[in-house]
Amino acid sequence: MASSEDQPRGPLGDVNAAFHAGYGEAREAAQHTDPVLVVLGDDLFLLWRGKTTTQTFTPPAFHCIKAAAHAPLALYATRCGAKALPPGFAAKLEAARDAAAALTDEGARADALEVLTRSIAVAKGNGDGADPGGGARLDAFARSLGPLLLRLTDHATRLQLAALHAATEAILEPLGAEERRRVHVVVAGAHQARARSLPMQYFRVRCGEAPGQEDRVTYAEAVDSPDDALALIGTQRVDRAIAEAFFGDPKRLQQDVLGEAAEARLGEAPPTPL
């Protein structure tokens, strides 16, 4: 980002300042136009008419299944590095197995217990993959547990989708049909999750959007609070209005403004390969 010293002064600076002031006011007004639903971690936030409503959706069973799946991954990662397991790790796995026994979902319970039992055997040095240097036995242990980990992933996904749906219905219950049709969803997350984020897939289906469309469902990588999400929506709405007015394409500014010209110029005169 350019420093203040790099910005033009005098009349040119005045023009820039007028733009930023007007843009800021327009963004502030635009972000309150329609309801905004934010997915941030385990929470849903509905921002509407100056109020924020919160609903937590991730069930405890999801975290239990996730921890069970992490057990063999921890063993593999540690022993691939030829390091000793943390002291008392086998005992911790046994305690985790006791906790997993309380899962009420029969399929998830059975798979979690099997994963943890086999991981305990490795941690104690009397199961496949027990060789601390890794190698073929460790690889065989990992490969044998792959299908079980995928089953745990499916259990966790089923429970998380059901919980997200229930929480969404609860938080949107005060909205009328027309307000629901105008809800804009912001899913906050890390870059790696963008393509197949569970909440993104869920809300795209509910809003009838194709991947990459992002008309009412937006993925955000730099959002840490509901207010950040609201500011993002305001920016998006103003940019779309400007792009439609000037270019006839509401999404023209949802990319680097120099991007199209840069692509054309680079196509005409490619730089020397690195």
Q: What is the pLDDT of residue 255?
A: 73
- Residues 35, 75, single domain; the answer is no
Domain assignment of residue 15, yes or no: no
- Residues 53, 91, single domain; the answer is no
- Residues 214, 78, single domain; the answer is no
Q: What is the pLDDT of residue 213?
A: 84
Beta-carbon count within 10 A of 13 CB: 12
Domain assignment of residue 225, yes or no: yes
> Model pTM?
0.81
Domain assignment of residue 142, yes or no: yes
- Residues 88, 103, single domain; the answer is yes
- Which residues constitute the domain of residue 135? 60-162
Determine the Cα–Cα distance for residues 187 and 5; give it in Å rounded to an integer. Answer: 36
Domain assignment of residue 22, yes or no: no
Positive or negative, the Cα torsion across 93, 98, 103, 107?
positive
DSSP bridge pairs for 43: 40, 56
Pairing relationship of beta strands 36-40 and 217-220 according to DSSP bridges: unpaired
- Residues 135, 215, single domain; the answer is no
Domain assignment of residue 218, yes or no: yes
Determine the Cα–Cα distance for residues 75 and 117; give it in Å rounded to an integer. Answer: 13
CA atoms within 13 A on the CB side of 131: 13
Identity of the residue numbered 52: T
Give pLDDT < 70 ranges for the chain: 1-7, 81-82, 126-134, 192-193, 195
- Residues 64, 45, single domain; the answer is no
Domain assignment of residue 103, yes or no: yes
Whether the CB-CB separation of 50 and 160 falls below 8 Å is answered with: no
Taking alpha carbons only, the member of 194, 149, 202 closest to residue 37 is 202
- Residues 107, 243, single domain; the answer is no
- Residues 64, 158, single domain; the answer is yes
- Residues 50, 74, single domain; the answer is no
Domain assignment of residue 192, yes or no: yes
Q: Taking each helix axis as running N to C, give the angle between helix 89-100 and helix 106-123, from 0 to 180 degrees, rounded to the nearest 10.
A: 170
Q: What is the pLDDT of residue 1?
A: 43
Determine the Cα–Cα distance for residues 31 and 38; give it in Å rounded to an integer. Answer: 13
- Residues 51, 33, single domain; the answer is yes
CA torsion 161→214→264→258, rounded to 10°?
A: -110
Taking alpha carbons only, the member of 53, 50, 51, 41 closest to residue 169 is 53
- Residues 158, 64, single domain; the answer is yes
Domain assignment of residue 113, yes or no: yes
Q: What is the pLDDT of residue 54?
A: 97
Domain finish residue from 100, 130, 162: 162
State how many domains the chain has.
2
- Residues 50, 124, single domain; the answer is no
Q: What is the pLDDT of residue 134?
A: 54
